[in-house]
Each structure stands twice: as C-alpha cells, then as structure tokens.
A and B are shown apart, each in its own frame.
Chain A
Amino acid sequence: MSDILTMCKIVLSSLRKKTACQMYPVKPAKFYKNSRGHIALEPAKCILCTLCAKRCPTGAIEVDRTKGVWQINRFKCILCNECVHSCRPVALSMENQYAAPSANKDIETHNVEIKKPAAKPVAPGESAENS
C-alpha cells in the first residue's frame, strides 16, 4: 500500500501557496494580547515595596529603597509574570512587544520618587516635635 504520491501532492500544492514563513524584519511580528513580551514599570505608581524583587525567581529585578531606584536586567528576566502578579499597586505590567535588542548587557534603571509614608496620627499627650 506504500506510495510516494501523497508526499508529492503536498510538495506540489505548496508551490501554489504563499510562503509559510513570516518575513520577519520586513513584516512586523504578530503579537497577541496575552503575549509575554517585556515587563514595563510605571514609576509614578511604584511604592518601592520590593515585593517584585523578592518574588523574582532569577533575581533580575533590584530595588533600592533609599535611593529610589528600580532596576531590571532584561537578560536575566524569564518573563514568568511573577512580579506582575505580586505587584500590589499595579505599577508593573506585561507588555506584548519584545524589548529592543541590545549589544551590551545593560541594566535598565528607573528612578522612582520615594513616597514618605503618610504621617502617623499624633498620639494625644505627645507634642508633634518629638515625632
């Protein structure tokens, strides 16, 4: 029952079809809404809680609370979405476009304004100067 015509048919029919590959740099790559492209930070919303740095499985994110710096090493990031899930103020998000390629292993740095915690209510009997 063996034959070679089945394959010939497929090969010949693909002559008529357009190329199956996507001509990538000429045509832009297609992304879906869910595609995991890169992590983006909205510095205005970040409260420097360091939760993302703690949850990051590869240690790609570093947060300095005293200087107000949020850093990500895109070459370490594995796009697992763990930081996005852990971010309480929703400052982090997963964008569906890939990060731009780079020739150097630089670390992306964002400056975040250090937000002072809201002043504690002054306990009765204590003067405000002591606090």
Chain B
Amino acid sequence: MANRTIIPFGPQHPVLPEPIHLDLVLEDEKVVEAIPNVGFVHRGLELLCQKKSFQDMVLVAERICGICSLIHGVGFVQGIEKVMNLEVPERALFLRVFWGELSRIHSHILWLGLAADAIGFESLFMHSWRVREMVLDIFEETTGGRVIFDAVKVGGVRKDISKETFTRIMKQLDKVEEEYKQIAEVFIKDFTIIHRWSNVGVLSKENAAKLGAVGPTLRASGIKSDTRMLKYGAYEKIDFEPIVEHTCDCYARSLVRVKEVYQSFDIIRQCYNKISEGEIETKVTGFPTGEFFSRVEQPRGEVIYYVKGNGTKFLDRFRVRTPTFANIPPLLQMLAGCDLADVPAIIISIDPCISCTER
C-alpha cells in the first residue's frame, strides 16, 4: 500500500470564491477520501426572524446569497403566503418567474465562466462574464439593482414592467441569446474542455439518488428531477421538461447548465406571451399562523424554506436549506478516486455557494 498523505485544500484557494476546507487523503496522486469542513462564515441569519418582522425578513432572505437572491426571496414569501392564505395576483407570479429565470441565466453564465477559469481557460471566462453583464443591465433597468433586487414582497412584487419596456427587453434578450450561443458552442465542443471534464468526478445514478444530490448535479446523473415541476407560482402555466444528461461527469454537469440557459430563455418568452395586465400586489393584513416547507428551484438546485408563524409579526422559526448543503455529500463521493489535479474542477462543478450554505 502506498503511503497516505493528507493535503489540506482551502479555505483559501484560487478556485474557491468562498471558504470551504477539505482534508484530502491521498495515495500517491489519487484522492482516497475527502473530509469537508465548513463553518467559516456562519452568520446565524435564521435567528434574525425573532428581531425582524416577517415583512422585513424578505430583505434578509434576499441577502442570503448574492447570486440567486431573488429566488431566495420568492421561496420565503411563498411560504408566508401559504400560511397566510394570500391570493397573489397572476401578474406578480409571472414577474417572479421572469426575474427568476433571468437570475438562472445570469447565475449559470457566471458558473460557466468560473468553471472555465478553474481549468485555466481565462479568455472563455471573460467572454462569459461579458455576456452576463448584458443580463445584469436588464436587471438594473427593471428592478434597480444589479445582484440584489429587492423586487419581491409578501403579497406580490414591488416593481412593475411596462409593456414597452417588456417588449424592448425581449429584443435585448434575443441579442443576449445570440451572444450566448457562440460561447455555449465552446462549452459543448472545445477540445480542452472535453479533455478536462470527460470522465472526471463521476457520480453514478444510484449514488446521486442515495446521497440526496439536487439541481444540475442530480440531473447530470440521469435523474429527471426539477423542483419547478411542482408547478408552484406561475410555473403552472408554463411548459417545460427538466434537462437530463446521462454521462454523470463534470462535462455532463456543464452541459445541463448550458442547456438550462436556453430553456430559461424559452420560459421567459412564454412568460412574455402569457402575462396579463393587472394588479401586482395584494394587501397583507394579519400575521402568519401555521407552518409550511416552501420548496423552489434555484440555479443550484432545490432550496427549502421552513416558516413557522405564531400569530405575531415575528416568526417562530425561519429555516433555509440551500442546495450546496445537500450537494456536499455527493461532492465527497465524486472526489473519492479522482486525481489531485482534478479536485478544483470537481469542486466547482457542483457550483458551491458556501456563504449561503451556512447562512
């Protein structure tokens, strides 16, 4: 048996945008086992629900993560709306889907850039982020913020989009899609990328199901599961099929994300065609009583919001389980047996978002 070495990986490492520490047990160049260590940025946001009213908690929920902020807000308000039995106007639901899918586009393009950067493909990283910038401009025009939007509130949304702006944005999005198409081609066919990602970090279908993977990580292992299929909000009126890949490696995980961006463009077009004029918010009276596990699909996977109200303006419990938290055990499985040089590419392939994991 070869000698075993333990190599600490992180919390500071060039590929990691956020701190996670892994103890890699190596036999020569092969990783035998990995032990994760999170908890560098625990903020205790969940306890804030005892100090902030449930309406102000939306602002906290949106700031859990800087990349999927709007969908965090949607998950939270959806839970509150269920326990308060609020009827949200349809236009508001459609606007949430519209911004939610735009967030998915910007998050996935961001990830594609980061993943390219992790394997040293820096020009592709910069081109990806150039395209993402165009999406951020649409956000700034419609909600006022570039990454933190504050567009969702209990009972509806805060901002409306006028008909003309909407039409103009759709034209802008066509341009974004055209630019994106060129970059997506590279992710699909480039020699470096295929060479670096094929058969790396394989997570078999059985393991993905057993270890509770979520989101693109699960779908890249051949399991058709997407929380949007619960048809919450306006997804009821939108047709789409989860995207599945069967090769189970890092390349499959990138393909799922590449294709999901196209799907999001399609959902946005459906939104534009199906949205109707009307109110964007309902009046909120009373306080939440009851509990609900609200599940929504984020760019990284399923996020769970547990809200428990006790009839006052403060909640009893506000709990978030973010997708990265569920994706850490599958990550350990992927790392076992890989080369040390592939570790950064594998870690980035689950799209880790550590600060939102620890809340």
Contacts and interface: CB of A to CB of B under 8 A. Distances in A.
A35 B63 CA distance: 18
Given A34-B140, A80-B150, A3 B59 contact: no
Given A34-B140, A34-B142, A34-B143, A2 B59 contact: no
Interface stretch (B184-192, B202-210, B329-337): B184-192
A1 B140 contact: no
A11 B143 CA distance: 33
B191 A2 contact: yes
12 contacts: A2-B190, A3-B190, A4-B191, A4-B192, A6-B185, A9-B182, A10-B123, A10-B127, A35-B144, A36-B144, A78-B63, A78-B148
Contacts of B140: 32, 34-35
A51 to B, nearest CB: 13
B130 interface: yes
Interface string A69-84: 0000000001111100
A24 B140 CA distance: 17
Interface in B157-188: 158-159, 182-183, 185-186
A55 interface: yes
B7 interface: no
B143 A4 contact: no
Contacts of B22: none
A14 B179 CA distance: 12
Given A6-B190, A34-B143, 19 more contacts: A3-B189, A4-B192, A7-B190, A10-B183, A10-B186, A14-B127, A20-B133, A34-B142, A34-B144, A35-B144, A36-B144, A57-B52, A57-B56, A57-B60, A81-B144, A81-B158, A82-B56, A82-B59, A85-B158
B124 interface: yes
Interface of B: 52, 56, 59-60, 63, 123-124, 127, 130, 133, 140-145, 148, 150, 158-159, 182-183, 185-186, 189-192, 194-195
Contact of B194 (A2, A57, A78): A2
A80 B127 contact: no
A3 B124 CA distance: 15
Contacts of A47: none
Given A10-B183, A36-B145, A2 B189 contact: yes
A3 B186 CA distance: 9
A94 interface: yes
Contacts of B159: 34
Contacts of A55: 56
Contacts of B123: 7, 10-11
B143 A2 contact: no
A34 B169 CA distance: 15
Contacts of B150: 36, 80-81
A1 B193 CA distance: 12
A1 B198 CA distance: 13
